[in-house]
Amino acid sequence: MNGEKNFEEEVKMEEEKEKVVFMWGYLPGALPQRSPLLSPTIVRTPGAEYTYKDVCGGGCGFAMALSESGKIITWGSTDDLGQSYVTSGKHGENPEPFPLPTDASIGKAAAGWAHCVAVTDIGGVYTWGWKECVPSGKFLGEQPMGANVEKDAIERQSSYLNEQVSPRSQGSQSTGGAFSVGDPRGSGEESTKRRRLSSAKQAAESSSSGDEPLSALPCLVTLNPGVRIATVAAGGRHTLALSDIGQVWGWGYGGEGQLGLGSRIRMVSSPHPVPCIEPSSYGKDRSAALPRGTMGSEGLGLRVPGNYVKGIACGGRHSAVITDAGAVLTFGWGLYGQCGQGSTDDELSPACVSSLLGIRIEGVAAGLWHTVCISADGDVYAFGGNQFGQLGTGADQAETIPRLLDAPSLENTNAKIVSCGARHSTIITDDDKVFGWGWNKYGQLGLGDVIDRNIPAQVTIDGCVPKNVACGWWHTLLLAEPT
């Protein structure tokens, strides 16, 4: 009897352990000297008023985490003037709760290049940051908004996309343009690989620059009646949201097909359903699938295995989703093969990654130019751009179809969680190890140096068990539980 009591007390103590957050890499404003963190460093909280529940990565210059009480915690900034990519919050060295116009608890959150999106415990969605990433509609600003008002707003009928979409042939090509190294729209490094564009489109492509004011305050995203969002993903300039019944919604910039609507519509100003799975698709004869395994907006091609979507990911300008049957669909920019379709064409509609059929994929993450998947067996598959070793293949050439990682460091271990930064990748294994690979100019691999790695390298973190990892563009956050 006494042994049982001691066991119960031990279990209770185990449950009450406070989780900690480690960070490594570059986060302007997170340290007085603004220097990169080359090794895992504990993120200190200014007081005991909150404890960490999860990590959400972050975009350019800021980091995000969630507290046990359902608050978003942010820190970091972007320039010497204190202008933060997370608007209307206090940012700097110390993590601070971010002010949202709702009393509801936040359960999930994601950060893109310069915008954020958060999900409340009743399925509502707030977004803020870069103007073009925030749906048009009622901006709440700092007006107080409780859960009841939010619930009413969720129930209201939303307006559908008013713009005419004119589908163009799948696989038509797009350009990268001359943008800065960190910009989700492209890179100066890809100058030799740019596609040609008419001068008119080139001008249009450059019309939204990173210099414009990032002044959109948090607003409640209006969805159709009854829609409850379970989780969200944020890319360079687009957002995906997954409902509790497995329906994907998208909004923001769609010029390369990253919204999966079958066209190059430049701006979707309100949430629109993304056609990932046909209701009758599950259970069909897969032997009739087309070689590329595509499912276009007209319903041609492969009948995608699955009844609903269970996972979503946004890269710089591409997207990926996983069905309940473990199939992977990709759409968007394909210049580096990041859609895994065996070509460098853009995918304007969700297309099944045919080479992964028969492998049950459980997790997916997307970076600026690359995609990483993990299977139910714990294997890691990577495809897309590989300029900095972010695929972990041991080489630097791009892969247009998924490649199984066979690095010695991953032998006899199974991946269970994956996250991608702009040009680096991180996994947690089932034996509680953390591995990173790719670009390491700012120490974002946590290996104590600034040397890139093209194969997975173990990150040393003593005295704790890793629970989740979330990569920002140039940094990495790890949620851990002290042992």
pLDDT tens digits, 271-286: 999 999 875 443 333 3
d(CA 3, CA 82): 56
Q: Which residues contact 149 (CB under 8 A, 6 or more apart)?
A: none
Distances (CA, A) of 6 to 10, 446, 481, 482, 483: 6, 38, 21, 20, 18
Q: What is the mean pLDDT of the chain?
A: 78
The DSSP code sequence of 254-291 is: -TTSTT-SSS--SEEEEEEEE----TT-TT--GGG--T
* 168 vs 255, higher pLDDT: 255
Q: What is the pTM of this model?
A: 0.79
Residue 65 contacts by C-beta under 8 Å, 6 or more apart in sequence?
Answer: 21, 43, 52, 53, 54, 55, 56, 72, 73, 74, 95, 477, 479
Residue 394 has pLDDT above 80, yes or no: yes
Structure tokens at 448: 């104590």
pLDDT at 311 over 80: yes
> What does the pLDDT read at residue 99?
87
Neighbouring CB atoms inside 10 A of 147's CB total 15
Residue 423 has pLDDT above 50, yes or no: yes
Q: Which of 19-33, 118-132, 215-229, 253-267 has the lowest mean pLDDT?
A: 19-33
472: left (phi over 0), alpha (psi -120 to 50) or beta: beta
Nearest to 454 by CA among 476, 444, 439: 439
DSSP code for 159: P
Q: Closest by alpha carbon to 462, among 434, 438, 437, 436?
A: 434
For residue 71, the SS3 value is coil
The average pLDDT across 12-37 equals: 74
- Cα 51 from Cα 404, distance rounded (Å): 38
Q: How confident is the model at residue 15 (pLDDT cuts 50, 70, 90)?
A: low
pLDDT of residue 479: 98
Q: How long, in residues, is the chain?
A: 483
Token duo for residue 103: 């009393």
pLDDT tens figures, 62-108: 899 999 999 999 888 654 444 444 544 445 667 888 889 888 999 99
Distance in angstroms (rounded) separating the CA atoms of residues 109 and 130: 16
* CA pair distance 333, 323, nearest whole angstrom: 21
Residue closest to 337 by CA, chosen among 403, 393, 389, 388: 403
**Which one has a higher pLDDT value, 357 or 62?**
357
Calculate the dihedral angle through the C-alpha atoms of 303, 306, 309, 311, rounding to the nearest 10 degrees: -110
